[in-house]
Amino acid sequence: MHVVDGYKPEHVSPMAFGVKKGNDALMAQINSALTSKEDGTLQTIKTKWGMP
């Protein structure tokens, strides 16, 4: 993913985060950040950058 205006990805695929097994603190932070964007903010960002 490139965060540059005008960038058009050659391939679009689902977004994922890799977290080492047992790293519950990091997983909680990621889940919290994603949940806080349920107001449509995350979808707006994904749409802007051509992500599914």
pLDDT band of 12, cuts 50, 70, 90 = confident
- State how far the Cα of 49 lies from the Cα of 45, in Å rounded to an integer: 6
Q: Which pair of tokens denotes residue 49? A: 């950058």
Number of domains in the chain: 1
Asked whether residue 2 carries a pLDDT value surpassing 60, the answer given is no
**pTM: predicted TM-score of the whole model, two decimal places:** 0.50
Burial of 6 (0-12, 13-18, 19+ CB in 10 A): exposed
Structure confidence at residue 27 (pLDDT): 94
Domain containing 15 equals: 1-52
pLDDT band of 3, cuts 50, 70, 90 = low
